[in-house]
Structure 1
Amino acid sequence: MHYINVQTQKYHIVKTTSQSAAQMGEYEIIDDFGGHAKCMAEKMCMESQLEETAAFINLNTLEERLAGKNSIIHEFIDKKTGWCRSRFIPVDYDENGRLLHVLFCIECIEEEKKRENRLIYLAQTDLMTGLYNRGSGERQISHLLQEKTGGLLCLIDCDKFKTINDTYGHSTGDKVIIAVAETMQKSCRDKDVVLRLGCCML
């Protein structure tokens, strides 16, 4: 955690973990926060995220971005630890009402991201087949229609499927559904939307 004078860009480190302390040893100690943060970003961030991260740590625009807010955040992927979240928190203002001090902290959110991605997967996926479920599949199709993306819509029904369940049992019926879903996935492109609509695939 860094305590920063926004007006002078001077800073000092208030708190650190053993992991971040080890990483800090890799960074050049620079008097101004802008230079220090730029050095950290270059060592931590993926190349594709550098521009966005540089914009976030820019103290010259921080007061405007923090106006009326308790904090602002930026998420990025650290080359060593995975997903991280950086945050600016206003501390106080000078006699003219200008932002004076802020706290800047970085936390690892890799486990949180994994849980979030798992929940998104569960919310969007038919767990038996691995296809989109009805809700998420219909949303994907609606989005394509709004974008006026051309394509073909196919509704597939397995004839006499009830007979399979009645004759061989539901576990065999499930295997048939899974086999049909796998065949459809192999037959379609990555950008195609394949979903399970009740007992049907679309």
Structure 2
Amino acid sequence: MSIRLVIADDDVLIRESLKIILSYDKEIEVIDIFENGKDLVDFLLKNTIDIALVDVRMPILNGVKATYEIVKNTKTKVVILTTFDEDEYIREGIRNGAMGYLLKNTKPDKIIETIKIVNNGIAVIQEEILNKLSSNMMDKDNGKEKIDKSLFTERELEVMEAIAEGLSNKEISKKLFISEGTVKNYITSILQKTNLTHRTQIAIYYIKGFIK
């Protein structure tokens, strides 16, 4: 069964190019494209879509606000497209529940790979974006560690570190010599203790502190 996907970007060249590129993959079906966040949200409220590829800067309703509405009201998973200077939007996107974050200059095969990973329920944040966010957080916090490690067991901290490294549940289970089910249980515990909602937030939280 193909991945049902929509694209939202106010740049007609980008959205049409993405539509053509992604349509070449037999596992992806591009259902529609949109030029603003409002039209995107209105469509998703009435249609079952697996993945929404969403630009940050759009008229009427921007990408991060659209993400909030999508995550709150639908089962569609959001992958945000961003430029390198939009880290404030990225942090807001994380809080709003987006599951993927890619730079606009990302190669097509990486975009396709990310779409498939996110469709399987695993959050993906591009390394360049993660590094920039962690660097900015360090600058703002003057290098002070904000995580209260006493909240977590040693194993939970190991799982958080592995998530921050971008490892999947399967890879974490192999690294720590525990079952995937046990990994999931640790992640559930971490989410409850931190009041976060998904893996990407855990990664940012672990690297430089609380994201709420």
TM-score class normalised by the smaller sequence? under 0.3
TM-score by length of 2: 0.26
| Larger radius of gyration between Structure 1 and Structure 2 | 1
How does the TM-score come out when normalised to structure 1? 0.27
Structure with higher strand content: 1
Larger relative helix fraction? 2
